[in-house]
Chain A
Amino acid sequence: MTQPAAVTDSRLNDSAGVISLDNLSVSFGGRPILKSLNSELRGRAIGLLGPNGAGKTTLIHTLLGFHPPSSGTARIFGSDIRADANQIKRLIGYMPERDSFITKMSGIHFVRFMAELSGLPPARALERAHESLFFVGLGEARYRNVDTFSLGMKQLAKLAQAIVHGPKLIFLDEPTNGLDPPARQRMIKMIREIRDSGQANIVLSSHLLRDVEECCEEIVILKEGRLVVYCNLEEERKANKKFLMLETRGELQTFVQGVSRMGAECAVTSDHRLRIILQDGNEIRDLYRLAADSQVQIRRLAYKRDSLEDIFLKAMENQNVSEAAPVLMK
């Protein structure tokens, strides 16, 4: 006797955000690890960034129901992680950061076993196990014992078990750890394929900015258990916000005042460096003219865009984490 998968999804609200954090706090032995996280994440691929110990993995584990929240709650597809844990788990795939295996099993046996535990009937589980192992590129090695897999192959096997039951939301915890450059590229390509298929949302936790930048549309930066930055990379890219980075010599005060009079936004980042956002109607030649009038030499002028690295470093520089509200960047 089997039950249709659709019935089990009925309580989940598709119109709701993928993940909603509502004052979520987690403490271990009285020590706060996650502190009042609030956010609404809707992207197809959400990046979780932060230095080691920021609480990325704890957040994922809490969403998976491994740790109970000490206060507040979170919702996945509109369902509460505590009240509807079982409903949520049906739609989730998880690729852990650490090596996680059931030993003495071949690749196909391992992935099939995982599919059956997710509720797939044995025949469909075997079929999907073959498909997912081919999808991740372990088709030829699927009858080999998992214990004999290389580190890269183990990462792929972990991905295969996370997607074998066709989840709606996939948590990937440091998926490119220990991979060589070609293997990393393959992993990123697969994550993007899953994202672009539109069949699943992805939460990617990593401290490798490039991985997140290549895969994710939304990013959340955690620092010391607090959410310090929320940024929609997709909208940032669409807005194509560019600024000018100037390296100068000479007295800047008059020049800065002149730039402000032009209507452009100007910020002095160090003794000789300026960031300027020109408004419509402003020309670069106006800047040169103003520099000449103010007796300022422009040694270097370049268009720049806030990279993820800039956003991340800025977030890390902010020392007053306990006081700060998350910076929204759109």
Chain B
Amino acid sequence: MAVLERSYKRYEGALSPEWSRFLIIPRHAVRNIFRSKLFTGFYALSFVWPLVCAILIYLHHNAEALSIMKLNVLDVLPIDASFFQAFVAVQATVGFFLAMLVGPQQVSRDLTNNGLPLYLCRPFSRSEYVVGKMSIVIILLSTITWVPGLILFLLQSYLEGWAWFSDNLPIASAIFLGSLVWILLLAFATIVNQMIETHWGNLISLNALIQNVWAGLFGTFVRQVGQVTEMRRGVVVREALLTEPPLWASWFMLFLICAFCLWLLSRKVKAYEVVK
């Protein structure tokens, strides 16, 4: 089928490996995403906090700079698990907005323009489609969460020494896992449910769930106990002790949410939907 000959010819050449075909989707999508000035600007802004953190780490180890700025080393934030947890929390929030900009339109555009039959009439499965679409969010969010997080960890290790690196290795895995859990959640569900202000209600709040999981990973999880008192005309009519759910419950709920999202995707990602 040559441009000048303009005749139909079958393709007999080599084919790309099947395992890598899902990557075609993010490769083409990322090119389109960065055409948006709004997104590109927001993406650039998402590197401000990692830069600030890098400066803080540098200042911590530069007595000369601290003396010029007339700061005591104790006034500067300590570089420990809380520091990196704060870093992950801020970047995750930025990542949430980034996912909001990118995520929903990826599938909705295909649904509104009947694009799914074009994917699924090819040797391209529904799971490859879902994994391909999710990998757009995963790749983009990785570049602003755990990748700069680990770079900061390595910078701190370089400045502090090998002993600090080996002592705080769990922080590195917490940065990676904590970010990844959040990224996967965002990739699955791009709409956050309503937060319900009860201890057990936290199990259906994405925000509370991920906060607990991060706290668990960074070793700062403390189970809260609260007392609820109901009074009428100044008289106590009921008192209840509300204990926050254990950490495993948060992990379990995250798993359930991901499983639900997978089930929903398997129901909805079809070339044609049969309606009653």
Residues of chain A touching chain B, judged by Cβ–Cβ distance below 8 Å, are 1-6, 8, 28-29, 61, 64-67, 86, 89-90, 92, 94, 96, 98-105, 109, 113-114, 116-122, 124, 128, 130-132, 134-135, 139, 161, 163, 165-168, 193-194, 197, 199-200
Other than A5-B15, A6-B12, A89-B123, give 7 A-B pairs with Cβ distance below 8 A: A5-B11, A64-B271, A66-B270, A94-B118, A117-B122, A121-B15, A163-B1
A119 touches B6 (CB 8 A): no
Known: A2-B16, A119-B16. A197 touches B7 (CB 8 A): yes
Q: Does B45 contact A (CB under 8 A)?
A: no
A116 touches B16 (CB 8 A): yes
Q: Does B14 contact A (CB under 8 A)?
A: yes
Give the residues in chain B near A101, CB-CB below 8 Å: 113-115, 118
Q: Do most interface residues of chain B lie in helix, strand or loop, or is the interface mixed?
A: loop
Shortest beta-carbon distance from B276 to chain A in Å: 6
Residues of chain B touching chain A, judged by Cβ–Cβ distance below 8 Å, are 1-3, 6-18, 21, 24, 28, 32, 35, 109-110, 113-115, 117-125, 270-272, 274, 276
**Other-chain contact of A200, B10, B16, B119, B272 (Cβ < 8 Å):** B10
B109 touches A103 (CB 8 A): yes
Shortest beta-carbon distance from A198 to chain B in Å: 9
A100 touches B8 (CB 8 A): no
B6 touches A67 (CB 8 A): no
Which of A29, A94, A139 has most B Cβ within 10 Å?
A: A94
B271 touches A135 (CB 8 A): no
17 A-B contacts, Cβ less than 8 Å apart?
Answer: A3-B15, A64-B271, A66-B121, A89-B121, A89-B123, A96-B117, A99-B114, A102-B109, A102-B110, A114-B118, A116-B28, A119-B16, A120-B11, A120-B13, A134-B6, A194-B8, A199-B8
**Other-chain contact of B118, A28, A100, A116, A135 (Cβ < 8 Å):** A100
A166 touches B15 (CB 8 A): no
Shortest beta-carbon distance from B120 to chain A in Å: 7
Give the residues in chain A near B28, CB-CB below 8 Å: 105, 109, 113, 116
Shortest beta-carbon distance from A199 to chain B in Å: 5
B17 touches A166 (CB 8 A): no
Which of A2, A118, A120 has most B Cβ within 10 Å?
A: A118
B115 touches A86 (CB 8 A): no
**Other-chain contact of B8, A98, A113, A135 (Cβ < 8 Å):** A135
A128 to B12 CA separation, bound complex (whole angstroms) = 12
A102 touches B113 (CB 8 A): yes
B109 touches A104 (CB 8 A): yes
Known: A96-B114, A96-B118, A117-B21. A134 touches B11 (CB 8 A): no
A117 touches B3 (CB 8 A): no
Residue of B with least CB distance to A135: B6
Shortest beta-carbon distance from B177 to chain A in Å: 31
Give the residues in chain A near B24, CB-CB below 8 Å: 113, 116-117
